[in-house]
Structure 1
Amino acid sequence: MGIDDISKKAQEFLKDERVTKALKSEQAEGASDKILDGIAAAADKATGGKFAGQIDDAKKAADKKIGNE
């Protein structure tokens, strides 16, 4: 199984109405906020704060795609 196969399966998975609904749930919002905060903090630390604006923008874009806020 190559990366293209994995990508296609992931796209099919994300099109499922049940998956979409779960990703927009309150539970997903809370979990995604914690995960995104951790990733952003780690990226900011690793870059010495040089890319804080870009990291925050990426975090906000990801947050819009997951959860309900």
Structure 2
Amino acid sequence: MGILDKFKSNKAARDKARQASDAAEKKANERTGGKYEQQIDTGQQQAERRLGMDRDRPDQP
């Protein structure tokens, strides 16, 4: 079992990572004045998808 598999199976870690991702998105939008909001959002979604944290999917076990 790889480290990403352990991460995907740990709901508390996913929740904490999601909160960190949201905070980073908010901070980046504040620093850029919202100028790159769409690009930041796209990057956040791609990063979360690669980590198995898709927001549109129900929580996994």
TM-score, normalised to structure 1, is 0.66
As a proportion of its length, which structure holds more helix? 1
**Corresponding residue for residue 51 of structure 1:** 36
CA gap of 1:32–1:67, structure 2 versus 1, over 3 A, is: farther
CA gap of 1:51–1:20, structure 2 versus 1, over 3 A, is: same
Separation in structure 2 between the aligned mates of residue 29 and residue 60 of structure 1, nearest angstrom: 14
**Cα RMSD (Å):** 1.5
**Corresponding residue for residue 27 of structure 1:** 12
Matched, 1:38 2:45: no
Alignment check: 8 A CA contact 1:22 1:28 kept: no
Count matched residues: 53
Letter of the structure 1 residue corresponding to residue 8 of structure 2: K
CA gap of 1:59–1:68, structure 2 versus 1, over 3 A, is: closer
User: Quick check: which has more Rg, 1 or 2?
Assistant: 1
